[in-house]
């Protein structure tokens, strides 16, 4: 099976985020307890499980955020 990345994410019926768009993503992750954290970066792509986000001062780090961890997405 091959899963291709998706470069446009539909948030609502008439709201889409395209690749290279700046976003703030607030997440809630359960480590030992629930931790809320906001990531600021560029939306790169997504698949059926979550989003790839480019972060860092020089935007040199790619992180993966699962959809079930996302509380809020804001376009900046």
pLDDT per position as a tens digit, 13-70: 999 999 999 999 999 987 777 889 999 999 999 999 999 999 987 767 999 999 999 9
Residue 56 φ/ψ, nearest 5 degrees:
105, 165
Total number of domains constituting the chain: 1
Residue 1 belongs to a domain = no
Tell me the residue range of the domain where 44 lies: 8-75
CATH number of domain containing 57: 2.30.30.520
**Domain contains 14:** yes
In the Cβ-directed half-sphere of 66, how many Cα atoms lie within 13 Å? 5
> What's the pLDDT score for residue 57?
77
- Structure pTM? 0.83
Identify which has the larger pLDDT, 5 or 63.
63
pLDDT of residue 6: 87
């Amino acid at each position: 099976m091959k899963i291709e990345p998706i470069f446009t994410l539909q948030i609502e019926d008439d709201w889409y985020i395209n690749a290279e768009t700046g976003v703030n993503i607030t997440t809630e992750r359960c480590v030992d307890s629930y931790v809320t954290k906001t990531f600021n970066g560029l939306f790169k792509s997504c698949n059926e499980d979550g989003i790839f986000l480019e972060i860092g001062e020089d935007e040199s780090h790619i992180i993966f955020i699962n959809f079930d961890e996302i509380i809020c997405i804001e376009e900046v």
